Amino acid sequence: MTIGVGILTSSGVVIAADGEETTGFIKTHQSKVASVSVLTQGVAGGCALVGGGAAGYIDAFSDELLGVFAQSKETDVLPEIKAQLHAFYKKHVIPFSKLPPHERPDFQMLIAYSRNGNSALFVTDKTTLRPCRHFGVVGVGDSFALNLLNEMWSPAFDQYAEVLAIDVLMRTKNAVEGCGKTTEVVRVSKDGVADMRAGAVEGIEQWLRLYMSFERRIRHYAIGPSSKKKELMATIKELEPFRKLLPIYLKQAFAESDLAGAKRMNITGAFTRVRGPKRESLP
């Protein structure tokens, strides 16, 4: 199972997903964000996908759609994305529509892309694409994560969307069965797709745990039994150094190029991030 979150910003899209893969009673780690960067003459940008549902179908559709995105010469790739979604459903999903409900294959995708400076975020539902105004969610616990985003998102998070995405993923993983382990974060922009270093994600998670402790103290001070103002001020002092360093920290988190540790496709100038091992194949 998967929980995936996407947040639109003024410079692109941030995508985050958990790393837990469940097969029966066994939990393993799996990279779930598939991506491609296209940096050729006349076309610049990238595309990142994360899906919920039938894992084999998600992998197959992701590979096909990233290939379409990388090979397209069009500035507006939305018609081609729609066509690929329809074609995939017609070939791989609709033929099994008469099976019992628990045997019918299905999946939902979060699709983020940036192309020549224009960024977009979509959520699929069967053969439809729904544009996301500010953020989108797919997978197990999507209602829980969506409620968090509705409460927490504001335009002020534009430069700190990665922190918001990590916060929402961490809270969802703590509350919802079926998602967990590490959090994977990528940034999609006119420069392609960049991975946030795992160490940086873990560092932000540690700070957010401290913030949650601070959040509880605020609540106790405001409406609860605690009136220890000195304790509250001490907590604020603990948070202040990190607040000042956060912009620098985020910049360094993406300092390494996405092309390092990437494999070249058979398309000149197009790169795709190395993904985890393939899961089960399609019928």
Q: Which helix (H) or strand (E) holds 273?
A: strand 270-273
Q: Any idea which of 159-168, 183-192, 208-217 has the lowest mean pLDDT?
A: 208-217
Cα–Cα dist 35/271, whole Å: 9
Q: What is the pTM of this model?
A: 0.86
Considering the chain, what is the average pLDDT of its residues? 84
Reported as half-sphere exposure (CB side, CA atoms, 13 A), residue 258 has a value of: 29
Handedness of CA 151, 197, 17, 190 (dihedral sign): positive
109-143: burial string, b at 16+ Cβ within 10 Å, e else: bbbbbbbeeebbbbbbeeeeeeebebbbbbbbbbe
The yes-or-no verdict on residue 172 having pLDDT over 90 is yes
List Cα–Cα distances, 86 to 67, 90, 94, 223, in angstroms.
16, 6, 10, 53
32-58: burial string, b at 16+ Cβ within 10 Å, e else: bbbbbbbbeeebbbbbbbbbbbbbbbb
Residue type, 273: R
**pLDDT tens sequence across 102-122:** 889 999 999 999 998 899 999
Tell me the average pLDDT across 250-262: 58
Token representation of residue 108: 């939902």
The yes-or-no verdict on residue 273 having pLDDT over 50 is no
Q: Any idea which of 88-92, 143-147, 170-174, 273-277 has the lowest mean pLDDT?
A: 273-277
Contacts of residue 148, Cβ cutoff 8 Å, sequence gap at least 6: 167, 168, 171, 172
Cα–Cα dist 146/168, whole Å: 9
Residues pairing with 125 in the sheet: 128
**pLDDT tens sequence across 27-53:** 777 789 999 999 877 788 999 999 999
